[in-house]
């Protein structure tokens, strides 16, 4: 089953704000923002279970904050910075500055 | 009992993002931002019950997004714009621009 991603125009501000309102999800976004290469899920240094990690990625992906695709056995994750900057100018920068 | 308000330095980004992640709360903030005079609770034109309204105001107040004080029988509400702009520069502007 393909992974669900909203189109740029479908990204909702309240869903993005909700997705960013968790400290672990904010950390994931900060890591992705600092290095724009797609990353494998295990590489975020989060001290959480795999199922919690999967949950956080799904919330972020379904809100339109990040994009995921499978490469062999790895699910690679990248920030949708240009989509977010186009939809909500300044939002990501202000959140990441904290 | 006095109303709970975090000091400026205690305002947490994730709490603010959570408080803003609801369409009705976002509408309340937009109304307060457009007219900086303190407003009474009944004046927001929200089609929600009083208890839901009270809940939304409490979430916003406890996150540090707005300040409330009682004037006679009215509870007056105002946006903590200078506190939010100082803690998270650009955040409120980017959220309100949508």
> In chain A, which residues have their Cβ closer than 8 Å to the Cβ of B29?
none
The pLDDT tens digits of the residues spanning B37-77 come to 888 777 777 777 888 888 999 999 999 999 999 888 888 89
Look over chain B and give the mean of its residue pLDDT values, rounded to a whole number.
91
Which residues from chain A sit within 8 angstroms of residue B93, using beta carbons?
A: 90
A66: DSSP letter: E
In this structure, chain B runs to a length of: 98
- Whether A20 and chain B come into contact, CB under 8 Å, resolves to yes
Q: Which secondary structure element, helix H or strand E, spans residue B93, and what is its range?
A: helix B91-96
The dihedral region occupied by A72, where left means phi > 0, alpha psi between -120 and 50, and beta the remainder, is left
The tens place of each residue's pLDDT in chain A, 98 residues long, gives 678 899 999 999 999 999 999 999 999 999 999 988 888 777 777 777 888 888 999 999 999 999 999 888 888 899 999 999 999 999 999 999 98
Q: Is B41 helix (H, G, I), strand (E, B) or coil?
A: helix
The 3-state DSSP class for residue B86 equals: helix
Which tokens go with B52? 């839901």
Q: Is A14 on the interface with B (CB under 8 A)?
A: yes
Residue A26 CA to its chain's centroid (Å)? 9
ipTM (interface predicted TM): 0.90
Closest-CA residue to B29 (of B11, B47, B14, B17): B17
| A71: exposed, middle or buried (Cβ count in 10 Å: 0-12, 13-18, 19+) | exposed
A80 SS3 class: coil
pLDDT exceeds cutoff 70 at B1: no
Helix axes B23-34, A13-20, angle to 10 degrees: 100
Q: Which residue of A15, A89, A98 is in closest CB contact with B13? A: A98
pLDDT on residue B89:
96
- Please say if the pLDDT value at position B16 is more than 70: yes
Q: Does A13 touch chain B (CB under 8 A)?
A: yes
Residue among B98, B34, B21, B6 nearest A15 (CA): B21
* Whether the predicted pLDDT of B10 surpasses 90: yes
Is B40 in contact with B74 (CB distance < 8 Å)? Answer: yes
Compare CB distances from A90 to B14, B18, B94 and report the shortest one's residue.
B94
Strand partners, B79: B66
């Amino acid at each position: 089953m393909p992974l669900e991603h909203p189109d740029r125009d479908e990204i909702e501000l309240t869903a993005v704000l909700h997705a960013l309102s968790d400290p672990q999800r904010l950390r994931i976004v900060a890591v992705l923002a600092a290095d724009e290469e797609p990353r494998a899920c295990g590489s975020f240094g989060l001290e959480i279970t795999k199922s919690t990690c999967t949950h956080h990625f799904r919330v972020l992906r379904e809100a339109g904050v990040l994009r995921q695709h499978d490469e062999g056995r790895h699910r690679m994750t990248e920030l949708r910075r240009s989509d977010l900057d186009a939809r909500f100018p300044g939002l990501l920068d202000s959140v990441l500055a904290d």
